[in-house]
Amino acid sequence: MPHLPIAPPVTTRPGVLLPRQDLALGWTLLALIAALAWLLTIAQSRDMEMEPGTMGLALPLFLLLWVVMMAAMMLPSLAPVALTWVQAIRRSTTGRTRTLRTAEFIGGYLLAWAGFGLLAYGALAATGRLVDRDPDAGRWIGAGAFLLAGLHQFGPLKRVCLRHCRSPMFQLLRYAHFRPWARDLRVGAHHGLYCVGCCWGLMIVLIPLGLMNVAAMAGLAAVIFLEKLWRGGPWLSWAVGGAFLVLAVLAPFHEWLLPGLRMSDPSMDHM
């Protein structure tokens, strides 16, 4: 049976943290990283108008902004898995090596979301071109995004990936037998792909709601956190899916539901 490497218990002595203290420190560090990412995201949103498309961002800058957004939205829900893996790292490493391996794990996780960011950039660029040609197309793009997100909430991919994110222990045991080369990076990326499979539907609603809509991001981050960590998470997924399907029906007739797909009024730029 696969097992994580087990080392003798750590003795209590000055300079060595007990496991409970390690967990508290881990939660605190992840919370600080997420808080910093939120501050950067909010600061950036103040300098950018909400409009269809990529908001004039080149791909490298978009990906940088996207990764910061994902760190803000996803790291709190990643904490239990990250800390469980870090506990395994802790048994076999110390000091700088432990820090580097932990950073490698988180980097691999964000790398998976950066890959999804490439798809998001293409979708946003296409959306911007369509709305430029026909502003009314935004209503149907918005309805399609809500419909796709709603269906995903009820689909098998969501169910499988959410189950992994809620109960990852079997996969963590499997990860212990990965080859040593860049193991932590690959473990982070592998788990990140499960998170992408679980949450991509939630992310695409940022197309109609606005990529830099901080209120929408905060709401989605809360949903992601509760889906993964709350006992009623699966029921919440279905409730959110139902809400998205309702929005898909309403979107073509209520433009205010689509702030991210409304063209800015040129006459307002000079007021």
CB burial string 14-41: b at 16+ within 10 A, e below: eeeeeeeebbeebeebbeeebeebbebb
Q: Is the dihedral of CA 11, 14, 16, 18 positive or negative?
A: positive
How many domains, the chain?
1
Q: What is the CB neighbour count within 10 angstroms for residue 174?
A: 13
Residue 58 falls within a domain, yes or no? Answer: no
Model pLDDT for residues 151-205, shown as the tens digit of each residue: 999 999 999 999 888 887 777 777 767 676 778 898 889 889 999 999 999 999 9
Residue 142 falls within a domain, yes or no? Answer: yes
Residue 3 falls within a domain, yes or no? Answer: no
- pLDDT confidence of residue 40: 94
Residue 1 falls within a domain, yes or no? Answer: no
pLDDT tens, per residue, the chain with 271 residues: 444 443 333 333 333 344 566 666 667 778 888 999 999 999 988 888 778 888 888 999 999 999 999 999 998 888 778 777 777 776 666 667 777 878 888 899 999 999 999 999 999 999 999 999 998 899 999 999 999 999 999 999 999 999 888 887 777 777 767 676 778 898 889 889 999 999 999 999 999 999 999 999 999 999 999 999 899 999 999 999 999 999 999 999 998 999 989 866 544 444 4
Q: What is the CB neighbour count within 10 angstroms for residue 120?
A: 21
Residue 235 falls within a domain, yes or no? Answer: yes
- pLDDT confidence of residue 131: 92
Single pTM value for the model: 0.84
Its domain, for residue 94, covers: 20-46+64-264
Residue 57 falls within a domain, yes or no? Answer: no
Q: Is the dihedral of CA 68, 73, 74, 78 positive or negative?
A: positive
- pLDDT confidence of residue 88: 72
Residue 55 falls within a domain, yes or no? Answer: no
Residue 126 falls within a domain, yes or no? Answer: yes
How far apart are the C-alpha atoms of 69 and 86, rounded to whole Å?
Answer: 23
